[in-house]
Structure 1
Amino acid sequence: MDLDLALVRAFTTTAGTLHFGRAAEELKTSQQALSKRIARLEELLAVRLFVREGGVRLTEAGERFLPAAHEALAAGGRAVAAVSGAGPAVRIDTWGHLYAPMRTVAQAAQALGPVRLEPGPGRDWPSVAQALLHGGTDLGFGRVHPLPGGRDAGLTQRLVRLEPVDAVVGPDHPLAGADALRPADLREYTLWCPAELTRLDFLRRFADAFGIARRQDGPNLGLDHLVQHLRGDAGCFTLFPADAPLPDHAGLRAVPLVEPVPLYAWSLAWRESARHPLLDTLLRGFTETGRAHRWLDYAPRRDWLPDTDHAKLAEGY
């Protein structure tokens, strides 16, 4: 059977939205035309790919077909790139957007030569892990942590950066004038978590490790919302990677943390069974940049990492 990639693309787009109307808009076609493409693909494969009663969801056959469908589209893209001379693109989804993950990716990209990156936003690590497993992206970048139920089985990760973390407070916070703080100095204050705490593995582990009992979370409404909250509540603080940009006009104070220095672990993740042809080139670029900038410096007596990040150190350079 010769698969029509237009039909395959109709399937993957619909599988990504689980909504025929939104998928049709994304493909710039009518919902009727999209439904006909899906029906034609189901006819060729002799299976149902979607359940359409009570909403749209994938059948078991559709779940099995989705990773291979993404790989077929990626292979088609590489074939076109080979003819055009443009070179293959690498899709990379990032998460942890308040912490500006693209800072690190951009620095590493300078060492990659002609590699074309196609960055995309991921909601969080669980959603990017699912996209990797289903073939919806080639590479993930952010903070990786174990997922319950083995939902990250089949994925490989590489630690590429350990970034010191500062305490960030508003101008009226009692500790705003400090030159440096120990994590223990924050115990009497409230940790503000700029998303649901269940999604913020690093902040949760930090609070548990250093006895931060007061915790407040809320929806991630962006950096401006975070700034306004910290400026308006003198009893709150949050954590921010030391090199991540804060608005110059915000009046916030970023105070280095010491004894120990908390480190935020940035990692690359991919599906080993679907390695992109340029993966080794990408890893080499991150390694060279990391060595030049000492991204993986770690001293056990000086620094603190969550237990789940220790095992990654041996897999770094």
Structure 2
Amino acid sequence: MRRWRGQQRSRTADNAALSHMVGGVDLDLALVRAFVATAETLHFGLAAKRLNTSQQALSKRIARLESLLAVRLFEREGGTRLTEAGERFEPAAREALAAGERAVAAALGVGQIVRIDVWGHLYAPMRTVAQAVEALGAIRLEPGPARDWPSAAEALLRGDTDLGFGRVHPLPGGRDAGLARRLVRLEPVDAVVSAAHALAGADQLRPADLRDSTLWCPAELTRLDFLRCFADEFGVTRREDGPNLGLDHLVQRIRTDATCFTLFPADAPLPGDAGLRSIPIVAPTPLYAWSVAWRESHRHPLLDTLLRGFAEAGRTRRWLDYAPERDWLPESDHAALAGPARG
């Protein structure tokens, strides 16, 4: 018993010493911001330019931070790189900056900011986000610049954004390790063809009906997992892709080529649809899976509120209706069906 009490006293003393050591560091967010900018660029000159300061001033801030923490955060010989201590400090530093932004927003009474990266821009992802948050009150969304899921995943893991919204699928090499997702909407997609297309008069189409047409992909096919899976599953061998030049370019491409089709969410708006037909696909109906994603180690304080907003919108609008005998999903989307998003 005396030995156990001695061990307890030793642990208590160690914890007190650690608490004193950590509590004795007054962390200046300006120094943290300098560290994060340098960690992102691994270049003191570029980081200084980003912060609109001189390289000398930036170097002094980093040196001051290292002195306060009593550790080296960067190796400077043979190029700038993070030390082990710097790698441990980086995610917490990003969270500290985000917490500071939330504190300022709270003091100003402007509501908490949620940084959200969306992708699949041609399919208008923000229309779904807007419907989910419209009844939640003073939540300020700050959309980010993500172009696709891999870039959004990197931003989430770096702490550059709080949430992601779009279609989530496994990334090679485990590049999405540490991220969580919640399926929030399954949206039917239509076949969009020119009014001059041979199938333009159909009231509905089966996927097999499209095998003699060319699938037009509005970006490199390697980046469009959903379209690639559809083409592979239903034997659409004719495929063309090109740069993503926006929705108007996509519409014009389909309108002027009677051999092509593309897939487009049934509820998404098509601009200037004269000369186009949007035809429902049946037996089965392809579904586009929209998910919310976040970093498992950092849940934004408003995450649960937002997820409730998506769940309520999903219930009232039947966003998660799915019947395997009627609908089709890529294999990588099936695992999400068993998750808490269905509840």
Task: Choose which of 168, 187, 193 in structure 1 pairs with 2:192.
Answer: 168
Equivalent residues of 1:144, 1:267 under 8 A apart: yes
Paired residues in the alignment total 316
Equivalent residues of 2:118, 2:143 under 8 A apart: yes
Equivalent residues of 2:216, 2:260 under 8 A apart: yes
Give CA deviations for 1:92-151 in whole Å, capped at 9, x if unaligned.
Answer: 111111111000000011121222222212121111112112211111100011112222
1:126 matched residue in structure 2: 150
The Cα shift of 1:37 comes to 3.6
Q: 1:38-187, aligned counterparts within 5 Å?
A: 38-42=62-66, 44-45=68-69, 46-49=71-74, 61-187=85-211
| Letter in structure 1 aligned against 2:253 | H
| Letter in structure 2 aligned against 1:272 | E
Say whether residues 1:188 and 2:212 are aligned partners.
yes
1:164 to 1:57, Cα distance in 2 relative to 1, 3 A: farther
Any gaps of 5 or more consecutive residues in structure 2?
A: 1-24
1:243 matched residue in structure 2: 267
Any gaps of 5 or more consecutive residues in structure 1?
A: none
1:4 matched residue in structure 2: 28
The Cα shift of 1:53 comes to 5.9
Matched residue SS, 1:146: coil
Give CA deviations for 1:247-289 in whole Å, capped at 9, x if unaligned.
Answer: 1255322111111100000000112221111111111111011
Give CA deviations for 1:63-95 in whole Å, capped at 9, x if unaligned.
Answer: 443321110101112222333333321111111
Equivalent residues of 1:95, 1:123 under 8 A apart: yes
Please give the TM-score of this superposition, normalised by the length of structure 1. 0.90
Q: CA RMSD in A?
A: 2.4
What is the alpha-carbon distance in structure 2 between the residues aligned to residue 35 and residue 76 of structure 1?
22
Equivalent residues of 1:50, 1:62 under 8 A apart: no
Larger radius of gyration: 2
Provide the identity percentage.
77
What is the alpha-carbon distance in structure 2 between the residues aligned to residue 120 and residue 52 of structure 1?
34
**Larger RCO (CA under 8 A, 6+ residues apart):** 1
1:222 to 1:32, Cα distance in 2 relative to 1, 3 A: farther
2:231 matched residue in structure 1: 207
Matched residue SS, 2:297: helix
Please give the TM-score of this superposition, normalised by the length of structure 2. 0.84
1:289 matched residue in structure 2: 313
- Choose 34-43 or 85-94, whichever is displaced more: 34-43
